[in-house]
Structure 1
């Protein structure tokens, strides 16, 4: 992988491969989940485990929702079944295909758009009431454009619900971590493209490659874009993750675009 690697193209192909492999985040929800959502019984995640508080959403019925870099047949169909008008923007055609399968199976209406989370020019200003952005901004090299674009496409009073990684999770030696030893090895700014050796990158195989973004860019980037952060929680990784014994490596925020004066 060279320094001028096309990050978007590489990770698009990598996520398409994850769909073929049946990665956790590519498995569509079953018809029973959609049936429950139609009855008002539903929950979704922004981070690996914790359900997002229902009060973060308000009433979804009739709302315009953008699932930003959030395809895979999981959250978007649930929102549609709960009564929202849902658009999904994602970099991976195969991931978008998972949403299409659920929509066709369960008679849901979803608008599917292939694109870059940093560029929402396909949507006019003030197009959405809610932007739902699960952990995915580690797959692009810069995230402040993501926050600025989310702010632009939201209506005043609309909310951005975002999940992201604490950058510290990328900085430990993965070989030692597998042995139960936590030792810092890498520094910020961190990138799988530039921080790892060719041998280290080879261990990732065909998986997507990541960037670690500072909390200044994750949290400060939202407030600099104009958002007011009104909700916050932390979450841990899947069971068996050694680092989760020491800290919560994932963060979720609710941020609101202020009403126009």
Structure 2
């Protein structure tokens, strides 16, 4: 694996200890709802996935892609799906294993780089559920191509992308509700930062991130054969950012036609 991929694996292991919102598992309320077939979960940071996007999954094979943390995969399994979790973080996968043991679920756990899904056969899944994570890889189109290959005809690909414009701003200032344009796009931690700043961030357990272009993020979905059938947008949870850029995240439902 590339060095930055291992850095991201270690960074997400670190986030588990900090109880990041993507790592702290599902609530008892979500568990009870899922047992009744009501899935209360997210693709993007805040908005609930429409029920129509995850309807009729009982007995279906689902890949929870880059979706460790004891959240979406657990809920999908409780609702009757046959779930495989694929994630780069050992501790994120351990969260799923812990919930599976407590709840008596059967989850298949696979550690790997989301750019390479060659361990899965063609047409292996009915649905791929991929929460916001393409910002952690340098080649999003490679991931899309693999997703298309391993989905059955008529299968659904659910993903969430980060609006590239967010990467224009100084992140530390943005968290203090001060927006300052600092970087050109497309952004990459590997090339947009100086070597000292990059090393500092990596020592602080930061993830390595990439902005991509909308052509790759959206056009890449249709280029490999998917048909986008629905989408919605979400906020970032940062007051100043959200007031200027409401569509900080874009959740997409696509089908393999």
User: What RMSD over aligned residues (CA atoms) do the two structures have, in Å?
Assistant: 1.7
2:42 is aligned to: 45
Work out whether 1:142 is the aligned partner of 2:125: no
Deviations 1:7-62 (A, max 9, x none): 11111111111112211111011344223211122221110111111111230110
1:110 is aligned to: 107
Deviations 1:180-211 (A, max 9, x none): 44232211221112212345443572121211
1:245 is aligned to: 243
Structure 2 unaligned regions, length at least 5: none
1:33 and 1:237 map into 2 onto residues whose CA distance is: 22
Work out whether 1:232 is the aligned partner of 2:231: yes
1:133 and 1:15 map into 2 onto residues whose CA distance is: 16
TM-score (structure 1 length as normaliser): 0.92
1:243 and 1:39 map into 2 onto residues whose CA distance is: 37
The alpha-carbon deviation at position 154 of structure 1 amounts to 0.3
2:157 is aligned to: 160
1:21 to 12, 18, 22: 18
Work out whether 1:90 is the aligned partner of 2:90: no
Structure 1 unaligned regions, length at least 5: none
1:213 is aligned to: 212
Q: Structure 1 66/21 Cα, relative in aligned 2: closer, same or farther at 3 Å? A: same
Runs of 4+ more than 4 Å apart: none
**Given that residues 164 and 186 in structure 2 are in contact (C-alpha distance below 8 angstroms), is that contact kept between their aligned partners in structure 1?**
no
Query: Hey, which of these two has a bigger chunk of helix by percent?
Result: 2
**Given that residues 18 and 207 in structure 1 are in contact (C-alpha distance below 8 angstroms), is that contact kept between their aligned partners in structure 2?**
no
1:56 is aligned to: 53
Q: Which range moved further: 34-43 or 178-187?
A: 178-187
1:207 and 1:223 map into 2 onto residues whose CA distance is: 32
Q: Which range moved further: 72-81 or 13-22?
A: 13-22
1:125 is aligned to: 122
Q: Structure 1 256/245 Cα, relative in aligned 2: closer, same or farther at 3 Å? A: same
**Given that residues 133 and 162 in structure 1 are in contact (C-alpha distance below 8 angstroms), is that contact kept between their aligned partners in structure 2?**
yes
Q: Count residues in correspondence.
A: 254
